[in-house]
Amino acid sequence: MTSTLLTNIGELVTNDPHREGLLGAIEAAALVVEGDRVAWVGHATDAPAADAVVDAGGRAVLPGFVDSHSHLVFAGDRAQEFAARMSGTPYAAGGIRTTVAATRAATDEQLLSHAARLVQEMLRQGTTTVEIKSGYGLSVRDEARSLAVARQLTEQTTFLGAHVVPQEHADDPAGYVDLVTGPMLEACAPHARWIDAFCERGAFDADQARAVLDAGEAGGCAVGCTPTSSAPAPASGSPASAACRPSTTAPTSTTPTSTRCVTPARSPPCCPAWSSRPASPTPMRVACSTPGSVSRWRRTATPGPASPARSRSASRWRCARWA
């Protein structure tokens, strides 16, 4: 197996809890990649021999970012909504419907071209694993094709038919929930690893979100959710996390089917992964930037790694954990 030594690293972020410092950083470091795995990390003076050597020129090297919440398959823009929010107008999920109309009108080719450009931009900025949600089609056909587009760009795809009630179902939100948990879920499951629901005033309440997540979980999808500070509380007597709970079921299949959309977390083929992962209370994906990309990061500007489970505050938060 071919090995590559990346040496002369100004600072190497390992996230190893057994090393000093918050990020387990090593100065004057090196690492060895064997195939698609990081096989060794340490001080450059202790580096083993390798088949090839790459000089990092004193730059920083850090694990690739994991973006566990993105909406890249869409058309149009929401500039008017942003302007309204800047002027103090409360957010009520209205801009989603504007994007839905534009997305439905776009061709598959247009959606793929736009999403692919955004993925490449994220890769250039250090994101090596990205999750992509649907949620701007909100019909059986458009949700399924959105996820089919997303699946061409990442393995981590999320069915978000419960993003907002579309205009044609405005008078029958319960009927729309039935559509999401029935024909729409069946059409989207072959392209999705996860299921999500937007629990927010103007979108779905706790009971509706719970119904969607339960249906997805019953069909084999791992659960992620997007509640916010204005989301209604669960019904009295219900567990506080009932409408939003990450899946703890171990994945058992690597082939997406209509009844199972969970697969073991693994790094994309282009990005080596740490051979040993640091202990963490939250299961995490860890991917490492390829040697050719380290020139983007200098020691004077080293972003911190992203976590698959993001916490903003006790009352406003997002969750989506990798299996």
**CATH number for 191:** 3.20.20.140
Answer yes or no: is 16 within a domain: yes
Q: How far apart are CA 321 and CA 302, in angstroms?
A: 24
248 domain-assigned? no
In DSSP notation, 105-135 reads HS-HHHHHHHHHHHHHHHHHTTEEEEEEE--
Shared domain for 57 and 77, answered yes or no, is no
- Domain check: are 178 and 75 in the same one? yes
Counting the structural domains of the chain, the total is 2
Q: Are residues 48 and 170 in the same domain?
A: no
Is 133 in the same domain as 39?
no
Strands 52-55 and 3-12: parallel
Mean pLDDT by 10 residues, the chain (323 residues): 96 92 94 94 97 97 94 92 87 80 97 98 95 98 98 97 95 98 96 94 94 91 59 35 33 29 30 34 31 28 34 27 26
- Together in a domain, 74 and 49: no
**pLDDT value of position 156:** 96
CB 8 within 8 A of CB 56: yes
220: left (phi over 0), alpha (psi -120 to 50) or beta: left
Same domain, 108 and 55: no
Instruction: Report pLDDT for 261.
Output: 30
Q: Do residue 86 and residue 169 come from a single domain?
A: yes
CA-CA-CA-CA torsion for 153, 267, 123, 125, nearest 10 degrees?
Answer: 150
Instruction: Supply the CATH number for residue 57's domain.
Output: 2.30.40.10
Are 204 and 174 in contact by the 8 Å Cβ rule? The answer is no
Contact between 64 and 124 (Cβ < 8 Å): no
Structure tokens at 322: 């990798």
Residues 101 and 200 in one domain: yes
Host domain of residue 43 = 3-61+265-296
Containing 175, the helix (H) or strand (E) segment is helix 173-179
Residues 145 and 279 reside in one and the same domain = no
Domain identity same for 174 and 132: yes
Q: What is the C-alpha to C-alpha distance for residues 114 and 162, in angstroms, rounded to an integer?
A: 23
53 and 110 part of one domain: no
Same domain, 26 and 150: no
